[in-house]
Amino acid sequence: MQERSPIPHKKICFTVFIVSGLILTVFYCDNTILNYAAPFAAEEIAFVEEPEYLVSSPKCKIPNYDPFNKDAKRFYHKQKYKPCNNKKLLTYVTVKDNIATLHVDTESVPSYTSNGVTCCYSNITRVNYNKDPDKRVKRSTCKYFNGKVTIFRDPVYVKCLDKERRRQVYENVHAATIIDETIQKKLESFDNTTNPFSILFIGIDSISRLNFIRILPNTHKFVEENGWIPLKGYNKMDDNTFPNLMAILTGFNNSRAYQVCSPKTLGKLDECPMIWYDFRKLGFITGYAEDSASINTFNYRKVGFTKPPVDYYYRPYILGTENLHKVNKDGVVYCTGPETAGERIMNAAKDFATTFKNYPSFGFFWMNSFSHNEVNSPSGMDHKVKHLLQDITNEGITNNSIVIFLSDHGMRFGDIRLTDTGWLEERLPFIYVSFPSWFKEGFSKEYENFKINSNRFTCPYDLHMTLKHILALSGRDYKITPGEACPKCKSLFEEADADRSCADAAIDQHWCTCAGYKQKTLSKELKAKLANFTLNVIHDIIRSRNSDHRCAKYSLSKVLDVRISQNFSAKNDSYVLLQFQTSPKAIFETTVGYIGDINTSNFSLSGDISRLDSYSEHSKCVSDAYLRKYCYCRSNGEKV
């Protein structure tokens, strides 16, 4: 998630599901050595399978850790599913022949009251005249109905009163995915001789590949038994959700995304060249839903969209649900009324995919609410996520869909984050992909290349190029252009270079898992020099945002860990992975580059600086999302 603390000539549709998860991890100092090979020269290495590595090449060796290694086991505990209501829902929606009906479940009434109920409903719509149209909704006058009533595309709020006492006994919000006149015209104009590909992303925030295996064992078993292909070397390209998803949607890196899309300026995200606009322009039906409205990808310390960016924009529905009684779990809104926020997204994704399984579509569905703040929290949703994948299979979605199931990154802070496995897991989110049998036959070369890429070094920019490739394969008039941030990145339907480095994938060394780090004994003075070099950079960031008067000046408290990179090139450059604690208390991790002798070399920062402890309570004095990671708000009377 974001930088925050505690998505034959018959018609064929592809649906790509990206299920991503986010979880938080805290820093623990460990003195073991990362299990990487010793330094070597590229010309000496043959391309051979090495079971101790997920990816093994002259430029990249990613270790194959046991998901239940000793570090991970110390933090692992399974959680049970927690329902938001012990009663059966009093209202529900059915869709038949494109007619949506809101029902009162008469059999459930006695569990709410012995006097019977009277219910009314209101339409929920966006507030388009407001300066923040993506943050507010309005409700129409509540209309009473008897038993059932036809509803339309707008989500509806429903409340029920005890007939005699006239007190409220129930409320909920529902959404129905139906085809209105505008969409129907679009579908009728579609040329069904071009074999379109549908794309549907379903994401669970903050779940690493290893944590996926640990905490979602039933879901993991399902994808393995059903032949889903993992991308074991899928490496995130930046810190949090926004840049990693923007890399998929636009091919931009974080700085370019802010420059072009300016998400803090009203109207600029609407002009951002999201790839879903390309799909919509070529006749695809588009949809997007994400829970946790205040902290989601395009609204956390951003202004969101002034106009619905897709044909089916579920944000008004989500905002409506968050006006119900909310229950937090691990610091995130978990219950919205009688339903979990996560299951609402699952249902929306399933409804969208089912409605348009015979038409070209692009859907993006993302969940944060049960994975954002705690590394084990998703375990309670294991069966729910598995059932989602089972349902889309049983509904025939996977017969004509490519399903991509993934996360954006692993836990970025927390106790586990201070371990060897925590460092690796933050950078390697899970991703699994399912292909219909006809694709394996009709696009055998593309399918074989994808399987080869399962053990290659890959990244979000590759996924962006894959979406472009899908548009080209769909028979539409679409020209594939190189990605802006990573011109060398290719579609996953092409074989990724076996000898690929992080530089080739436009990933900074700080996020790179290719070059191993070994512990190194350095003098106290040198460790302090490295830490203070980093602190100077942090203080420069604070000054550049004119926040010296708000943010305290850090001093080094202690160095927690120092590691030196293996050399994977003919260059004489190396990197130091440094973890240290400051006063006021904060824990930072940085990757510092040097050439030659570390004792005499000049230092350079390689990429970002990570904050490994929770900082939400200490950074409330600033609103800048990037600055919050580095700012420790001054106490009264503190001087520079």
Place of tokens 């990724």: 496
Superfamily of the domain at 44-77+181-187+196-511 = Alkaline Phosphatase, subunit A (3.40.720.10)
Tell me what pLDDT residue 559 has. 97
Which are the contacts of 62, defined by CB distance < 8 A and separation ≥ 6?
A: 53, 54, 55, 56, 232, 233, 235, 424, 428, 457, 513, 514
Which are the contacts of 538, defined by CB distance < 8 A and separation ≥ 6?
A: 554, 588, 609, 630
What percent of the chain is modeled with pLDDT above 70? 90
**357 phi, psi to nearest 5 deg:** -70, -20
> ω into residue 58 within 30 of 0, thus cis?
no
Query: What one-character-per-residue DSSP string does 74-131 give?
Result: HH--------S-SSPPSEEEEEETTEEEEEE-GGGGGGT-SS-EEEEEEEEEE-TTSS
Residue 175 in this model has a pLDDT that exceeds 60? yes
Residue 580 in this model has a pLDDT that exceeds 50? yes
Tell me what pLDDT residue 132 has. 85
Q: Identify the band that residue 13 occupies on the pLDDT scale cut at 50, 70 and 90.
A: very low
This prediction has a pTM of 0.91
Q: Identify the band that residue 572 occupies on the pLDDT scale cut at 50, 70 and 90.
A: low
Polymer length of the chain:
640
Domain formed by 518-628, architecture: Roll (3.10)
Q: Identify the band that residue 270 occupies on the pLDDT scale cut at 50, 70 and 90.
A: very high
Per-residue pLDDT reduced to its tens digit, 499-555: 999 999 999 999 999 988 888 899 999 999 999 999 999 999 999 999 999 999 999
Per-residue pLDDT reduced to its tens digit, 433-484: 998 888 899 999 999 999 999 999 999 999 999 999 999 988 888 999 999 9
Tell me what pLDDT residue 48 has. 41
What is the C-alpha separation between 368 and 242, in angstroms, rounded? 13
Tell me what pLDDT residue 72 has. 96
Tell me what pLDDT residue 181 has. 94
All structural domains of the chain with their residue ranges:
44-77+181-187+196-511, 518-628
Please give the C-alpha separations between residue 43 and each of 47, 54, 463, 574, in angstroms, as whole numbers. Answer: 11, 21, 30, 19
Q: Identify the band that residue 190 occupies on the pLDDT scale cut at 50, 70 and 90.
A: confident
In a 3-state reduction of DSSP, which class is residue 328? strand
What is the C-alpha separation between 313 and 46, in angstroms, rounded? 50
Per-residue pLDDT reduced to its tens digit, 15-45: 444 444 433 333 333 333 343 333 333 333 3
Q: Could you write out the three-class secondary structure of 122-175?
A: EEEEECCCCCCCCCCEEECCCEEECCEEEECCCCEEEEEEECCCCCEEEEEEEC
Tell me what pLDDT residue 531 has. 98
Residue 489 in this model has a pLDDT that exceeds 50? yes
What's the token pair of residue 635?
Answer: 């106490």
Residue 330 in this model has a pLDDT that exceeds 70? yes
Instruction: For Cα atoms 208, 203, 184, give the angle at the middle one, nearest 5 degrees.
Output: 165
- State the maximum Cα–Cα separation within the chain, in Å, rounded to a whole number: 84
pLDDT, averaged across the chain: 90
Residue 331 in this model has a pLDDT that exceeds 70? yes
Q: Identify the band that residue 253 occupies on the pLDDT scale cut at 50, 70 and 90.
A: very high
> Which position has the higher pLDDT, 625 or 558?
558
Residue 245 in this model has a pLDDT that exceeds 70? yes
Beta bridge partners of 170: 160
Per-residue pLDDT reduced to its tens digit, 341-392: 999 999 999 999 999 998 999 999 999 999 999 999 999 999 999 999 999 9
Place of tokens 């230092």: 603
Residue 146 in this model has a pLDDT that exceeds 80? yes
Tell me what pLDDT residue 566 has. 77
Per-residue pLDDT reduced to its tens digit, 594-624: 998 899 999 999 999 999 998 888 999 998 8
